[in-house]
């Protein structure tokens, strides 16, 4: 009687799931003998454990504690105030994930963790990881409820968490803000309104590049009170007014001919977005322009750096990533005329709209 091979739950990626033949070489190639393996499923399902491992390492600042010449688990334990066994296990597992490199009894940061998580490199990703750890991780624990109900599951943020959220957002959006300031012709405008402007990530480079522009940044009162003092002691003190307002319910200011709504519509439902666009249309001058910057859903699969986005936006406040054609429908329904959809470096894009003829709103 021939024995049937026993399938392995924890198959190694790229190797057969059962003792059904020789393992292929590393790297992409034909499907291994014996058919599909559970490897991708178990790796995806256990992804939260790797995330949490990385979050703990960030919380104790492990990558900053490892100097270029490397450190033993004992040194890591002392510097991170961890039991030596924990430092040893964390290092062992982080090395298995490729985030540390082992050299004898020492561990060194991998090139990417040295560059982005040590605080010594060109970009510091630690604020983003801290935000995901302290806020997003708990929200995703209620992801089933969010997907079933389309309701937000993120709780109220403490002032520290608000700060962490705003810093994380700014770290992600600063590049797009610089791209918009550089590529869109703001010289035709006089006054800028930045709706849900965060810590001024878009307003600052736009005002810096266009010295004749003045503007207003609208933010929730708790964020406005954080940003206001910073702006009033900056180069923009005389040119930028920071106002605390809920843009869905509080009066909106008139007279702004460039209305920037950046990374905002994705936070809300289509109904909320139509309501906001309608309110903005009511205060826009006839020669005004609406500039919607977002991670639009404009391909069959998300851009690799936006894979997490639709889920995260749902957890935060019931949002999603949206297709440009559905945004065009919202614009028509709220008294705007769709002018163009211009790519910015991916995954961002810019949708430009102008006030439609009076009475042209379709609903
Ligand atoms: C994803 S952030 C984008 C910030 C900024 N526009 C950027 O792209 O960097 C969304 C911002 O909208 C603000 N926000 C959310 N709901 C708001 C509301 N109802 N009124 C005003 N601002 C709001 C949040 O505080 C947050 O700073």
Distance of CA 169 to the CA centre of its chain: 6
3-state percent helix, strand, coil for the chain, nearest multiple of 5? 45, 15, 40
Rounded to the nearest angstrom, the distance between the alpha carbon of 65 and the centre of ligand 1 is: 34
Strands 240-244 and 214-219: parallel
Q: pLDDT tens-digit profile of 53-81?
A: 999 999 999 999 999 999 999 999 999 99
The best mutation among 166, 167, 198, 277 to test binding of ligand 1, ranked by most ligand atoms within 8 Å of the C-beta, falls on 198
Averaged pLDDT, 322-340: 97
Ligand 1, residue 162: give the atom nearest the CA: 25
**Six token digits for residue 130:** 């801290």
Decide whether any atom of ligand 1 lies within 6 Å of the 200 Cβ: no
- Give the pLDDT confidence score for residue 242 in this predicted structure: 97
What is this structure's pTM? 0.89
In this structure, the residue with its CA closest to atom 6 of ligand 1 is: 197
Q: Is the pLDDT of residue 30 over 90?
A: no
- Give the pLDDT confidence score for residue 357 in this predicted structure: 79
Decide whether any atom of ligand 1 lies within 6 Å of the 201 Cβ: yes
- Largest interatomic CA distance in the chain: 87
Q: What is the CB neighbour count within 10 angstroms for residue 300?
A: 5
- Tokens 């705007």 belong to 336
Q: Is the pLDDT of residue 362 over 60?
A: no
Q: pLDDT tens-digit profile of 207-255?
A: 999 999 999 999 999 999 999 999 999 999 999 999 999 999 999 999 9
- Give the pLDDT confidence score for residue 320 in this predicted structure: 97
Rounded to the nearest angstrom, the distance between the alpha carbon of 48 and the centre of ligand 1 is: 27
- Give the pLDDT confidence score for residue 22 in this predicted structure: 45
Question: Does 3.40.50.150 match the CATH number of domain 148-355?
Answer: yes
Tell me the domain boundaries of the chain.
47-124, 148-355
| CATH number listed for the domain at residues 47-124 | 1.10.10.10
In this structure, the residue with its CA closest to atom 23 of ligand 1 is: 196
The best mutation among 196, 246, 310 to test binding of ligand 1, ranked by most ligand atoms within 8 Å of the C-beta, falls on 196
Rounded to the nearest angstrom, the distance between the alpha carbon of 290 and the centre of ligand 1 is: 16
Q: Is the pLDDT of residue 127 over 90?
A: no
What whole-number percentage of the chain has pLDDT above 90? Answer: 82
Distance (Å, whole) CA 226 – CA 237:
15
Q: pLDDT tens-digit profile of 262-271?
A: 999 999 999 9
**Six token digits for residue 279:** 């309110």
> Using CA of residue 81, residue 83, residue 85, residue 89, what is the dihedral sign?
negative
Q: Is the pLDDT of residue 26 over 90?
A: no
- Give the pLDDT confidence score for residue 136 in this predicted structure: 94
Q: pLDDT tens-digit profile of 152-163?
A: 999 999 998 998
Q: pLDDT tens-digit profile of 75-90?
A: 999 999 999 999 999 9
Q: pLDDT tens-digit profile of 146-185?
A: 999 999 999 999 998 998 899 889 989 999 999 999 999 9
Q: Is the pLDDT of residue 20 over 50?
A: no
Rounded to the nearest angstrom, the distance between the alpha carbon of 198 and the centre of ligand 1 is: 5
* ipTM score of complex: 0.99
Decide whether any atom of ligand 1 lies within 6 Å of the 276 Cβ: no
Distance (Å, whole) CA 242 – CA 250:
14
pLDDT band at 200 (very low <50, low <70, confident <90, very high): very high
φ, ψ at 353 (rounded to 5°): -135, 155
φ, ψ at 142 (rounded to 5°): -115, 25
Query: How would DSSP label each residue in 190-259?
Result: SEEEEET-TTTTTHHHHHHH-TT-EEEEEE-HHHHHHHHHHHHTSTTTTTEEEEE--TTTSPPPS--SEE
Q: What angle do CA 297, 300, 304 make, to 5 degrees?
A: 75
In this structure, the residue with its CA closest to atom 27 of ligand 1 is: 198
DSSP E strand boundaries for the chain: 100-103, 106-109, 191-195, 214-219, 240-244, 258-262, 289-294, 336-343, 349-355
Decide whether any atom of ligand 1 lies within 6 Å of the 174 Cβ: no
DSSP-derived letter for residue 71 is B
């Amino acid at each position: 009687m021939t024995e049937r091979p026993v399938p392995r739950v924890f198959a190694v990626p790229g190797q057969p799931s059962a003792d059904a033949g020789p393992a292929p070489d590393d790297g992409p190639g034909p499907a291994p003998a014996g058919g599909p393996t559970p490897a991708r499923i178990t790796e995806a399902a256990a992804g939260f454990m790797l995330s949490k491992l990385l979050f703990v390492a960030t919380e104790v600042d492990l990558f900053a504690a490892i100097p270029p010449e490397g450190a033993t688990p004992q040194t890591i334990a002392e510097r991170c105030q961890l039991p030596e066994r924990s430092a040893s296990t964390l290092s062992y597992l982080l090395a298995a994930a490729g985030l540390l490199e082992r050299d004898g009894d020492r561990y060194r940061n991998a090139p990417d963790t040295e560059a982005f998580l040590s605080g010594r490199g060109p970009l510091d990703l630690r604020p983003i990881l801290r935000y995901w750890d302290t806020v997003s991780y708990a929200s995703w624990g209620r992801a089933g409820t969010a997907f079933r109900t389309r309701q937000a599951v993120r709780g109220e943020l403490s002032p520290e968490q608000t700060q962490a959220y705003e810093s994380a957002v700014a770290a992600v959006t600063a590049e797009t803000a610089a791209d918009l300031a550089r590529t869109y012709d703001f010289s035709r405008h006089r006054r800028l309104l930045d709706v849900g402007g965060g810590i001024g990530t878009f307003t600052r480079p736009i005002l810096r590049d266009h010295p004749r522009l003045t503007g207003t940044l609208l933010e929730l009162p708790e964020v406005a009170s954080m940003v206001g003092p910073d702006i009033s002691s900056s180069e923009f003190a005389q040119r930028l007014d920071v106002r605390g307002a809920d843009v869905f319910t509080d009066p909106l200011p008139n007279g702004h001919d460039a209305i920037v709504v950046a990374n905002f519509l994705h936070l809300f439902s289509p109904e909320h977005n139509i309501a906001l666009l309608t309110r903005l249309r009511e205060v826009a001058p006839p020669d005004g322009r609406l500039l919607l910057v977002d991670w639009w859903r404009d391909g069959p699969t998300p851009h690799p750096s936006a894979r997490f986005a639709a889920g995260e936006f749902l957890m935060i406040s019931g949002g999603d990533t949206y297709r440009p054609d559905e945004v065009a429908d919202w614009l028509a329904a709220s008294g705007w005329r769709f002018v163009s959809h211009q790519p910015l470096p991916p995954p961002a894009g810019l949708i430009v709209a102008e006030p439609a003829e009076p009475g042209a709103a379709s609903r």
